[in-house]
Amino acid sequence: MPNNRFAKPLPSFFMGKTAASNRIAGFLSSKHVVLSNELGTTDTKSIWYSFSHIENLFKELVYLNADGLRIYLGAYEDDHQDFPGQLCLVMVPTRFDPDTEGHEDVLLEDDVDFPERPGSELYQSATEAEQLSKAFNYGAPCPTICPFSVKAIKYPLNLVSM
């Protein structure tokens, strides 16, 4: 019997494999079908982010004194080179606003120290297309960047065919 004295408790946002698989299967059998049919091609099924990306996002949230993260559903431009019209995620830091008692989006280029931050000059001098490519949505969308085989999918543990 394992010693649970030092076991880390599950996070409060834990979702079991059955619930996760049911939600993924629900999306794939309904909304994904509609989106793909409308686009005339298979739309995004999932988006993968590296640990490094998540770690840097967390560091940015700390730097901005953010209280959370709002994740918008978006779509790449129809003329995007790699993912035309595909669903994407756009992650935006938030801060509590005592006036509205809500969580307001923090848009980096509107933040007071944006002009002094290293790299801002590159962003400001970039073309509109280059600026559009910059966001916290540097994930790898599937399709087109998918695991090579179903065996490569570890979650949701073969309960859903990706």
- The domain in which residue 115 lies consists of 49-140
**Strand 102-105 versus strand 140-142 pairing type:** unpaired
Query: Cα(51)–Cα(109) distance, rounded to whole angstroms?
Result: 25
Predicted local confidence at residue 156, as pLDDT = 44
Residue 100 lies in a domain: yes
Q: Are 71 and 89 in contact (CB under 8 A)?
A: yes
Please give the tally of structural domains in the chain.
Answer: 2
Whole-prediction pTM value?
0.75
The whole-angstrom separation of Cα 95 and Cα 97 is 6
Structural domain includes residue 1:
no
Residue 37 confidence (pLDDT): 94
Other CB atoms within a 10 A radius of the CB of residue 23 amount to 13
DSSP 3-state of 96: strand
In this structure, are 85 and 106 located in the same domain? yes
The pLDDT assigned to 1 comes to 55
Query: In this structure, are 23 and 93 located in the same domain?
Result: no
Per-residue pLDDT at 92 exceeds 60: yes
How large is the angle between the packed helices 31-39 and 17-29, nearest 10 degrees?
30
For residues 101 and 154, state if they share a domain.
no
Q: What pLDDT sits at residue 157?
A: 41
| Burial class (CB within 10 angstroms; exposed 0-12, middle 13-18, buried 19+) of 30 | exposed
